[in-house]
Structure 1
């Protein structure tokens, strides 16, 4: 009989209800200030990070190797035979490699580490799907196949207040920056499904136009297929709410959720003013 553990990290932006429902083991990233270190989402909130930007922009780090070791040891003690870990995109972080390395030290558990090629609600959607399949009693290998298929149906778009934070944190990917910023050109950013890095999906001039363009992208996608939609933000609740109000009126949107603030560690790299949308193809 397979006993399957489900592991992810704090950038998946799961609600407490989902964590409890699917018994998800969440590894916290670390947020590092000059004088103190915090566990993402556990010891610091997104708003505290944004509010402190004027004083200091922190750096971030992977969940500690000790946290990973402790988790796998605990799973062994609890009699788990298998584990599926779904991590933040390898194009944005080294957590995939860290979890894979630690899992190989625990041969009693058959582990599979999956690169979500996503962040926030995109990564979270994969975790939720995996949790549902585990709950249904599906076999380990079948679950992995199904979640990889599901990954093809997850699409992410977002805009940021400024590219400064993505550049500073080395997360700029293939998004073109400096000259466009001088001209107030705002990219609509997506994630390359091949390497999991940020790419420019489209670009327009001005903040208002970028949000309008993101709405048009959603509208065009919904003309073709049905989607479940989640709107998220990073210190951009008012604009995210306005987008949510527009999107929820569209046909073919089977569910539209205002998902709340992204994790503090994601906020460190995106800066204030992020508005994002996750579309899950039905």
Structure 2
């Protein structure tokens, strides 16, 4: 990292991490991280701000660092949390009845850097989440209850032993339990294993793709994500989505 990048990083931290801005974020989260807002036209308008005409079908938002991508991930990270991701916006009709269902219980695995909800418990090794709340559970083994769904966004790529994590998830799911995964795809080069380095959240252990179209390029640590999930669960949906990501919906195997 050169001096210019360090200065930009310091300015960004000062701009977005002070008591006045944090108080503003907290008030906006109460308004926007709700079923009402995520279901609304206003959410659509926010997510499509600065977008091109082909926004819905376009998937290289992250790779190209589009103006829309930067707007969502920089300006609204601490307000929308996980809902800033385009893939979740694309599948919101499927997700809203799960995430905002007060009659079922779920967890946000690895969600400290962008929680999906103000009420769903987070499982993460971080001490606090990006909303400045204490993280109660640091591993799946600490959970003393079963859940109806497990949500995880841009986390599993950091984990070397996926089979162990999936086995632990299986143990914590109720019989009809569902899993919602969003992970980075190989198409964003800076997110590939061996390229992505992050001292805070660990490096990327895997470069994910879907088995229906294996990349021609010889990437390091290639992993067919749908097949990895499929060894443990019944995969219902597996698609490439915006922000160079992969969306998977799966269910506990009977």
| TM-score normalised according to structure 2 size | 0.37
Task: State the structure with bigger RCO (CA 8 A, min sep 6), 1 or 2.
Answer: 1
| TM-score normalised according to structure 1 size | 0.34
Rg larger in structure: 1
Structure having the higher strand fraction is 1
